[in-house]
Chains A and B, each alone.
Chain A
Amino acid sequence: MDLNRIRQLLDRQPGVSAWQLLHVAQDETTVIRLPLLFSPQLDVRNSSFVISSNPHPREVISTPSESVWVTLYCETSSDGKTRLGDALGQLTNDREEDVKPVLSSLAAAARAQRNQPFALPDSKETYPDVELSDPAIATLNQKELVEQAQVFNERMLKAAAGLDHVDVSNLELFLRRYDRTFLSSSGISHAQRSTKVEAEICFLARPDSAHAGEHTARVQARRISDLVPEQIAAEYGPAARAIALAGPAREFSGPVILEGEACADFLDLAKNPLSFHSSARFVHEKASRYEPGKPVHEGQLAGDPLDLVSDPLIAFGLRSAPLDERDGTTCRRVSLARDGCFDELVGLRRYFAYLGLSRPSGAVGNTVIPAGKRPLSELAGGDCVVIKAFSDLHVDGASGEYAVEVRLGERRKNGAAEPFKGGLFVGNWFRSIADARYSKETRVRSGFYGPLAVRLGSATLAA
């Protein structure tokens, strides 16, 4: 698309006080494999299957696409005050006869809003250099991207072949390459190439004819080399086997250790309620419990105080970005919890302006939590429950309440470990972290940079 032509049309659009434009050219390749096909034994009424191998992919998809996302800002006057509205639209070609009606509808939508104005970033905005593009993907053509995906998939299948009674039952790989350009009427011009690799790998364990279990690795990274098939197989394959053989959950109250994926789920800003309560929007709307310096946790602190940073500037971080594409604000590191207390806010430039704060944060970045002082072996010692995976953790953003099914856990007692599945891990996030101890070992996966495990001193498993 000819961005200059679109810029000219934007500049000529009546009633527009400012505009921002994001051009995204994208190449995407998807390869899906179902390596084994199961069907029931037609003449036997039992649980056995006919299993055949399926050497061919289920689907191969190539996507070359290009879009321009335009935000129009329109100032109006209402009751003697200046008001600001904005509207976001998509262009998929640069033909004047197609672009003009879109811009007109966006301008009409923006003029219908009576929001408090705020200052948009201008050409003085400086963006940090953040590496986001994998050289191994960045220059490949579509055919080579498919070949790259197939190489990864074969390596994954080979890694799983060494597992004990565990197969890969589904393997999906998405390779994405983006060229993004952000322009604004105030003179901002920023271009960046980025890549993203996403894999969903289901490990199916059938240790004997009576037991089966599946565990799915959902992993994302900027670089394909950050997804190591052998490591993924070593973590998720044995977990699938443990799920297959796990017994039912039993009622438990006491220390619960969240390890690996369960720990990251519990602490990641994508799921934890800190992102809600540290959001400039919800602080402005007085829906947050945020007060700078006030403890994040509820109740008496009995464990390690929480330190949590939103960091969008980590090289090749999944949630790294030099600028917030929603409004062109420079992204920066933000300390959301320091020494167990609320610290800075994160969110859109608009809400920082409404709150009278001068340094907007840009978008939420990667979750960074420093390592704790104790090794996992110490945290998980004694009589406790270790949870390794949840079915699907949802923490209520407002209250912090959660009740989540356990996909894989272990009851540890007198030196023995008994795997279980099912039961509900219930509690309140803010009360839980009052008695949390973080492991010395760390984990980096899909935008989470933090401890491998957290021990919650007093937790409940309902079964």
Chain B
Amino acid sequence: MSSFPPDLLSLRSFLPGLVASVGRNVPYACALVTARAGLQVIKSKSVEKVNPTPPDPGIRISVWDGATWHSVCTNRLTDRDYLLKLARELGSSVSVKPGPAPEPGPPLDRHFESTMRQDSASVDAKTKQQLAGRAFAAITGFDKRVVNAQAVYSDDHEYRLFCDPGRLLSSDVCRTTVFCVAMAADGTRQVMDYEFRTGTGFEAVASLEDSVFTKAASDAVENLSAEKVPPAEYRCLLHPDIAGTLAHESFGHGCEVDTMMRGAARALSFIGRRVGSDLVNITDSPGMPGCNGSLFFSDDGVIAEEPVKLVKKGILQPTMMCDRYSYLMMKDRLPGLRQSASGRLETWNHPIYARMTNTYFEPLARDQGGTSYDEMLASTDSGIQLEKMQSGMEDPLGWGVQLQCTRGREIKDGRFTGRLFYMVGVTGYVPDVLASVDAVGTDSRLDSVGMCGKGHKEYVRTATGGPWVRCRVRLG
């Protein structure tokens, strides 16, 4: 626990007593503590900002009464007597009801930390400022049509403590990112583009070449000559980030058990049935090391051990993403359902929902039908390659989907024609889109920096990615 802050270490040893103080008259009690540390540097045309990350520390003490979670949350972490009082009051305020109870599982006392070569916290602020400044200068110096830019460096340690009667867990998840936005104008039109690099430690950004930053600038300048895509259905090559977002919006959100159990996900009646072509395998993997959505245990204390297989060879699987509430309420009603490390919250005083982490189409080996990117491109007679994700929105009941991509590149006879489209909207009926998947790449990448909301709120860090995927979608 070398990098764990001393005040959180002290809280770690206090938590078992706090949870015990809730009392024995409730079926289950637990506590979660979250806090952050880090630095953000922003360089834009008019200002440079350097700011330590606000720690936003908080504790959430929860009891289960057989039917409902009752939680009390506060950020007064240093006042131990106050915390004990809150816990005792919470325990005595609930009346137990008949119902399922969480099983704490075998005793476990464990600490987890991200693996990295160089902790960003060990790098001085000036080096980070220089990096953001270099990125900004590279972008704005690229072309006189680049009228504005913003370069953001950020590093973050996300600390978590979880305690219930059986487990005492702690984690330190690190993230280091450089994100650059370039804006270009030609007197009649303003357009933008972006580029980023992300990883666990400072090594992810330490030796970035200027070409990474100027790519944002050159793409923005290219976008000045881009057209609006003629609305129609197209055969499209989806960049891994966009393919992953399609997976995320379709049978990611569609397989969150707390959405299914309220009748709002059509997938509930399709378990074991075909929802895509044989090439479609969709997985959510919380324990994948070093990705933006990675975690060691969920906010309701489930260790991230196994990936959640959502779709296998086009067939919807019964292994879904559940938080502890939806697992308790549905475990006897959904055969094959397993507790997953998917219970997550936006911040310590928000509700816990079933959420995704790192979601992707699985790449396919050649002997399983996988196709290299070059082959995929060469075998596309007519289509559009979609790049640079902007946003996505799910519709798990209607099975619609909305994606917005920064750009699309026209393909004819297996080559790019040079024709470019800006701000391309993507939609379709999810089963039709997934049934049209006719090529899935052999290689995979999961290096995006997305945030995901439950509907339009409760944002948590996620990653999307996987291989290149080819399918038919409607663009506009």
A residues lining the B interface (CB < 8 Å): 28, 30, 32, 34, 36-40, 42, 45-51, 54, 56-67, 69, 85-90, 92-93, 95, 98, 102, 105-106, 108-110, 112-116, 167, 169-170, 172, 200, 202, 204, 206, 212-214, 216, 218, 243, 248, 251, 281-282, 284-289, 350-351, 354, 391-392, 394, 396, 398-399, 401-405, 407, 421-424, 426, 428, 460, 462-463
Interface: B52 (CB within 8 A): yes
Contact in complex: A284, B402 (CB < 8 Å): no
Q: Which positions 378-395 of chain B face chain A at CB distance < 8 Å?
A: 390-391, 393, 395
Give 1 or 0 for each of B382-423: 1 = CB within 8 Å of chain A CB.
000000001101010110111010000000000000000011
When C-beta atoms are compared, the residue in chain A nearest to B181 turns out to be A398
Q: Which positions 53-88 of chain B face chain A at CB distance < 8 Å?
A: 54-58, 60, 67-79
Given contacts A218-B455, A350-B47, contact A424 B425 (CB under 8 A): yes
Contact partner, B56, options A37, A90, A396, Cβ 8 Å: A90
Provide the bound-state CA to CA distance between A92 and B112, in Å.
26
Q: Smallest CB–CB gap between B146 and chain A, Å?
A: 10
Given contacts A87-B51, A394-B390, contact A200 B262 (CB under 8 A): no
Interface: B435 (CB within 8 A): no
Provide the bound-state CA to CA distance between A421 and B231, in Å.
17
B residues lining the A interface (CB < 8 Å): 39, 44-52, 54-58, 60, 67-79, 97, 125-126, 129, 147-148, 183, 185, 189-192, 228, 231-232, 258, 260-264, 266, 268-269, 271-273, 325, 329-330, 333-335, 349-352, 390-391, 393, 395, 397-398, 400-402, 404, 422-425, 427, 429, 455-457, 474-476
Contact in complex: A404, B329 (CB < 8 Å): no
Contact in complex: B50, A64 (CB < 8 Å): no
Return chain A residues, CB-CB under 8 Å to B60: 61
Return chain B residues, CB-CB under 8 Å to A38: 260-263, 268
When C-beta atoms are compared, the residue in chain A nearest to B52 turns out to be A105
Contact in complex: A109, B70 (CB < 8 Å): no
Return chain B residues, CB-CB under 8 Å to A243: 398
Contact in complex: B52, A109 (CB < 8 Å): yes
Contact in complex: A213, B397 (CB < 8 Å): yes
Contact in complex: B262, A40 (CB < 8 Å): no
Known pairs A92-B57, A218-B455 / 17 extra A-B pairs, C-beta < 8 Å: A38-B268, A40-B334, A46-B269, A58-B325, A60-B70, A92-B77, A109-B51, A113-B49, A115-B46, A285-B46, A286-B147, A403-B425, A407-B400, A424-B427, A426-B425, A460-B231, A460-B476
Return chain A residues, CB-CB under 8 Å to B398: 213-214, 243, 407, 421-422
Which residue of A58, A284, A392 has the most chain B CB atoms within 10 A of its CB atom? A58
Provide the bound-state CA to CA distance between A402 and B404, in Å.
9
Given contacts A404-B425, A422-B427, A426-B228, contact A59 B268 (CB under 8 A): no
Return chain A residues, CB-CB under 8 Å to B76: 65-66, 92-93
Return chain B residues, CB-CB under 8 Å to A89: 51-52, 54
Contact in complex: B329, A37 (CB < 8 Å): yes
Provide the bound-state CA to CA distance between A423 and B391, in Å.
17
Q: Smallest CB–CB gap between A455 and chain B, Å?
A: 21
Contact in complex: A392, B393 (CB < 8 Å): yes
Given contacts A60-B71, A92-B77, A112-B126, contact A424 B474 (CB under 8 A): yes
Q: Smallest CB–CB gap between B265 and chain A, Å?
A: 9
Contact partner, B264, options A214, A426, A428, Cβ 8 Å: A214
Provide the bound-state CA to CA distance between A167 and B395, in Å.
18
Contact in complex: A61, B50 (CB < 8 Å): no
Contact in complex: A204, B70 (CB < 8 Å): no
Contact in complex: A36, B125 (CB < 8 Å): no
Interface of B is mostly: mixed
Q: Smallest CB–CB gap between B180 and chain A, Å?
A: 15
Contact in complex: A424, B476 (CB < 8 Å): yes
Contact in complex: B57, A40 (CB < 8 Å): no
Return chain B residues, CB-CB under 8 Å to A213: 397-398
Contact in complex: B335, A422 (CB < 8 Å): no
Contact in complex: A424, B69 (CB < 8 Å): no
Contact in complex: A115, B48 (CB < 8 Å): yes
Return chain A residues, CB-CB under 8 Å to B390: 394, 396
Contact in complex: A39, B334 (CB < 8 Å): yes
Contact in complex: B52, A405 (CB < 8 Å): no
Q: Smallest CB–CB gap between A127 and chain B, Å?
A: 25
Return chain B residues, CB-CB under 8 Å to A34: 258, 261-262
Given contacts A49-B268, A56-B67, A398-B190, contact A424 B263 (CB under 8 A): no
Contact in complex: A30, B474 (CB < 8 Å): no
Contact in complex: B129, A58 (CB < 8 Å): no
Return chain A residues, CB-CB under 8 Å to B262: 34, 36-38, 169-170, 202, 204
Contact in complex: A424, B231 (CB < 8 Å): yes
* Cβ contacts A to B, 11 pairs, < 8 Å: A39-B334, A40-B271, A59-B325, A63-B73, A67-B75, A89-B52, A113-B47, A285-B46, A287-B183, A401-B423, A403-B425
Contact in complex: A112, B50 (CB < 8 Å): yes
Provide the bound-state CA to CA distance between A46 and B273, in Å.
10
Return chain B residues, CB-CB under 8 Å to A92: 55, 57, 75-78
Return chain A residues, CB-CB under 8 Å to B189: 399
Contact in complex: B474, A462 (CB < 8 Å): yes
Provide the bound-state CA to CA distance between A244 and B44, in Å.
47
When C-beta atoms are compared, the residue in chain A nearest to B329 turns out to be A37
Given contacts A282-B148, A401-B423, contact A114 B68 (CB under 8 A): no
Return chain B residues, CB-CB under 8 Å to A288: 190
Provide the bound-state CA to CA distance between A34 and B67, in Å.
11
Provide the bound-state CA to CA distance between A213 and B266, in Å.
10
When C-beta atoms are compared, the residue in chain B nearest to A285 turns out to be B45
Contact in complex: A422, B50 (CB < 8 Å): no
Return chain A residues, CB-CB under 8 Å to B73: 61-63, 65
Contact partner, B269, options A40, A60, A116, Cβ 8 Å: A40
Return chain A residues, CB-CB under 8 Å to B129: 112
Provide the bound-state CA to CA distance between A206 and B262, in Å.
13
Q: Smallest CB–CB gap between B172 and chain A, Å?
A: 19
When C-beta atoms are compared, the residue in chain A nearest to B273 turns out to be A45
Which residue of A38, A110, A428 has the most chain B CB atoms within 10 A of its CB atom? A38
Q: Smallest CB–CB gap between A456 and chain B, Å?
A: 16
Contact in complex: A285, B269 (CB < 8 Å): no
Q: Smallest CB–CB gap between A283 and chain B, Å?
A: 10
Return chain A residues, CB-CB under 8 Å to B397: 204, 212-214
Contact in complex: B474, A463 (CB < 8 Å): yes
Contact in complex: A65, B400 (CB < 8 Å): no
Contact in complex: B228, A392 (CB < 8 Å): no
